[in-house]
């Protein structure tokens, strides 16, 4: 009997058609919502990331009943940003590389004790070689030279050029990564600061980087229009402290002593302070300073910025300034090194143009200036752009100067830049093609990264 059952079972198996092996179903076959779900998760993830990296400490408009000329402004601004105003400073302004590169290189060659230099972009080339030669010569003369650069901004800074500096005795480090195998937890974080301090008594800041694009006088499309300032006086101690903070974060070592922080005599008539901004230190201080200055404006605000991407609060405060009769003029680049950044910026202009803010597009070169003049008395300048990346993500340095003479010089420069710019009307802005409007809107969704 068992044999009969076995034969019957074998017979049935032979008659039954073979089943093809099961193939695992693809994600799309499992559910029609699989890929839409993945896309939604990505969008939500990016949205959460953009929200987390957006400036949001200050959420309410600032309202003050005094202007930048009033003592109350000086008394309040210092504590707000963590750096009191100092008296007795002298400010000199340089326009484009033809002016500021020779001044900076001469200051390096005149150094006697210390040089501290921090920059975002350093690209090998002609001006790089000049800085390497000057810094190497200073180190050879016994000057202590410290150079701090950003890892992302120095991708085109050749290793052999860094080695030339090290061989000469210059301490060259990458911010936040003293060793190549160290990776910062927040890879989106940069040091965007531009600082040069000589002997603790003379300081330079602005938007300039060590790159051949800054050479010349901004007379063609591939050159960059820039403003840089030199300060002498007590405010330089604050500038040196900003550099020392990043040096400490990178090395664990403090720069101390009179070689770095000497006693400084009053050298001029300008009131000034210098302060840092970064996600891990004094968060949003530069944003607070800009918005405070806008709130205090009673007559005029002149903004010259390469990357002007105001957030909702800044837009509302600029419109409020217009409503109280403040004239606001903005110079932005017609030529931009970032198309997405340019579109993100444009996405914010509509309400401001409608409120009477005057926009001008700088034509001859890439406009990289980072300054604001309020009521012809306050000048704000440094490394920070008027955007969320500078206000909330990067490390930045900002110099505020309260001085009619310095403001008059910057106003003259602003007027000269206006002559090389083309005004943008509300009608022209609204008439831009539909595909440009769509691009601007989409880029505007990413504005927290610009």
Q: Which band of pLDDT confidence, cut at 50, 70 and 90, is reported for residue 21?
A: low
Q: What is the mean pLDDT of the chain?
A: 90
199 is catalytic: yes
- Which whole-number Å values give the CA distances from 59 to 54, 55, 68, 155, 268, in the listed order? 11, 9, 22, 37, 37
150 is catalytic: no
Supply the pTM of this predicted model: 0.88
pLDDT at residue 142 is higher than 70: yes
d(CA 332, CA 368): 9
d(CA 167, CA 152): 23
Number of H helices, E strands in the chain: 16, 17
Catalytic-labelled residue, pool 150, 161, 199, 417: 199
- Cα angle 308, 150, 174; round to 5: 165
Closest CA to 268 of 315, 202, 173: 202
Q: Which residue has the higher pLDDT, 433 or 37?
A: 433
pLDDT at residue 450 is higher than 70: no
Catalytic-labelled residue, pool 146, 162, 189, 194: 194
Residue 365: phi and psi, rounded to 5, are: -150, 175
Catalytic-labelled residue, pool 368, 410, 417, 440: 368
194 is catalytic: yes
Closest CA to 49 of 248, 233, 187: 187
Question: Could you tell me the residue ranges of all domains in the chain?
Answer: 71-256+264-449
Catalytic-labelled residue, pool 211, 232, 311, 375: 375
pLDDT at residue 10 is higher than 70: no
Model pLDDT, residue 444: 83
- Cα angle 158, 162, 163; round to 5: 110
Give tens-digit pLDDT for 280-318.
888 899 999 999 999 999 999 999 999 999 999 999 999
Give tens-digit pLDDT for 160-200.
999 999 999 999 999 866 555 555 556 678 899 999 999 99
CATH class of 71-256+264-449: alpha beta
Pick from 18-22, 79-83, 104-108, 257-261: least confident: 18-22
Q: Which band of pLDDT confidence, cut at 50, 70 and 90, is reported for residue 338?
A: confident
- Which whole-number Å values give the CA distances from 72 to 68, 69, 75, 85, 189, in the listed order? 8, 9, 5, 12, 35
CB atoms within 10 A of CB 264: 18
Catalytic-labelled residue, pool 189, 192, 273, 305: 192
Quote the percentage of the chain above a pLDDT of 90: 76
Catalytic-labelled residue, pool 162, 290, 370, 410: 370
């Amino acid at each position: 009997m068992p044999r009969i059952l076995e034969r019957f079972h074998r017979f049935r198996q032979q008659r039954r058609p073979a089943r093809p092996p099961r193939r695992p179903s693809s994600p799309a076959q499992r559910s029609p919502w699989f890929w839409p779900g993945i896309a939604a998760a990505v969008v939500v993830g990016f949205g959460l990331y953009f929200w987390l990296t957006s400036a949001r400490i200050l959420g309410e408009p600032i309202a003050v009943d005094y202007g930048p000329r009033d003592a109350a402004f000086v008394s309040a601004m210092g504590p707000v940003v963590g750096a009191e105003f100092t008296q007795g400073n002298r400010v000199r302004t340089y326009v484009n590389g033809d002016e500021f590169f020779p001044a900076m290189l001469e200051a390096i060659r005149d150094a006697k004790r210390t040089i501290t230099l921090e920059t975002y972009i350093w690209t090998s080339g002609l001006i790089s070689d000049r800085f390497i030669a000057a810094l190497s010569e200073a180190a050879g003369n016994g000057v202590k030279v410290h150079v701090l650069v950003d890892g992302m901004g120095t991708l085109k800074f050749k290793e052999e050029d860094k080695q030339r500096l090290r061989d000469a005795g210059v301490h060259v480090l990458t911010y936040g990564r003293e060793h190549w195998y160290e990776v910062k937890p927040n890879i989106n974080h940069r040091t965007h600061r531009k600082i040069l301090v000589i002997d603790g008594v003379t300081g330079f800041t602005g938007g300039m980087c060590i790159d051949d694009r800054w050479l010349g006088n901004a007379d063609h499309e591939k050159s960059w229009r820039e403003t840089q300032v030199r300060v002498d006086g007590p405010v330089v101690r604050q500038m040196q402290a900003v550099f020392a903070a990043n040096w400490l974060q990178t090395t664990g070592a403090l720069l101390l002593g009179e070689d770095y922080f000497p006693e400084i005599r009053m050298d001029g008539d300008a009131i000034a302070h210098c302060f840092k901004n970064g996600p891990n230190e004094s968060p949003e201080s530069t944003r607070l300073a800009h918005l405070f200055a806008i709130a205090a404006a009673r007559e005029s605000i002149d903004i010259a910025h390469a990357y002007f991407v105001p957030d909702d609060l800044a837009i509302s405060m600029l419109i409020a300034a217009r409503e109280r009769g403040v004239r606001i003029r903005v110079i932005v680049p017609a030529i931009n090194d970032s198309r997405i950044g340019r579109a993100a910026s444009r996405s914010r202009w509509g309400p401001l143009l409608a409120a009477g803010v005057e926009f001008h597009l700088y034509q001859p070169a890439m406009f990289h200036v980072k300054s604001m003049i309020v009521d012809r008395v306050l000048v704000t300048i440094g490394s920070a752009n008027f955007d969320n990346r500078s206000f909330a993500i990067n490390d930045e340095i900002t110099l505020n100067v309260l001085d009619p003479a310095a403001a008059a010089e910057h106003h003259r420069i602003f007027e000269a830049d206006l002559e090389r710019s083309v005004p943008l009307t509300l009608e022209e802005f609204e008439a831009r093609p539909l595909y440009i409007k769509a691009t601007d809107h989409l880029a505007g969704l990413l504005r927290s990264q610009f």
